[in-house]
Amino acid sequence: MFFPACYASFVRILFVCVTNICRSPYAEYVFGRMIREDARLSRRIDWVKSGAVFFMSNRVSRKAKSCLVREGFSADAVDRHRPRMWLFAFNRFAAADLIIGMTRLQRWLLPFWWRGKYVTLSEAATGSYVRIPDPALKGPGEYDAAMRVIKGYLGRLKERLPELIDELR
């Protein structure tokens, strides 16, 4: 795993998935809260956002919204999420120091100039690759199970984040 040099005092993290309506918004909201609640890390992270690598929809999926509301986020906050595809959110992708995706395929869907700062969530969290399948077309039980997997990786990523930030420098 390799990361670009980062000279800013804060690190910007961008979670991506194919359409930015299920996995990456969930990661953005949950990991953003994890960072805000950790005084040590909140001083080192500028922002946590999400984006799409292939296709853009209008809003977060109903299953993602339901899952995030159960996580304690307000429905209004979730409704304000607007999926952002790299083509229409170029600056968001360019400004990210670390782009974290769900599968290795997503790295290849990014423009080549950002691939050097891409890593999968499982690799960032554990050092080993595990594909996180897209639950968008699955039932609520399978969807919630996928979000629990993502949340588990996010918890491990939070613990490993100081080490990753040091690698960015």
Which tokens is 31 given?
Answer: 């990991």
How high is the pLDDT of residue 5?
Answer: 44
Q: What is the dihedral of CA 35, 108, 122, 68, to 10 degrees?
A: 50
Distance of alpha carbon 157 from alpha carbon 23, whole angstroms = 15
pLDDT digits (tens, 9 = 90+) for 95-134: 999 999 999 999 999 999 999 999 999 999 999 999 999 9
Q: What is the dihedral of CA 106, 145, 27, 57, to 10 degrees?
A: 60
How high is the pLDDT of residue 169?
Answer: 66
How high is the pLDDT of residue 158?
Answer: 97
How high is the pLDDT of residue 58?
Answer: 84
DSSP notation for 61-108: -HHHHHHHHHTT--HHHHHT----BTTT-HHHHHH-SEEEESSHHHHH
| Confidence tier at 9 by pLDDT (50, 70, 90) | low
pTM, two decimals, is: 0.92
Cβ burial of 72 (10 Å; 0-12, 13-18, 19+) is exposed
90 lies in a domain?
yes
Average pLDDT, the chain: 91
Tell me the mean pLDDT in the region 142-150: 95
CATH assignment at residue 117 = 3.40.50.2300
2 lies in a domain?
no
Q: Domain span at residue 65?
A: 11-168
> How many domains does the chain contain in total?
1
5 lies in a domain?
no
6 lies in a domain?
no
What type of residue is 125? Answer: A
3 lies in a domain?
no
Question: Is residue 62 within 8 Å of residue 143, measured between CB atoms?
Answer: no
1 lies in a domain?
no
121 lies in a domain?
yes
Q: Measure the CA angle with vertex 155, ends 30 and 125; round to 5°.
A: 115
63 lies in a domain?
yes
How high is the pLDDT of residue 3?
Answer: 43
Question: Is residue 42 within 8 Å of residue 48, measured between CB atoms?
Answer: no
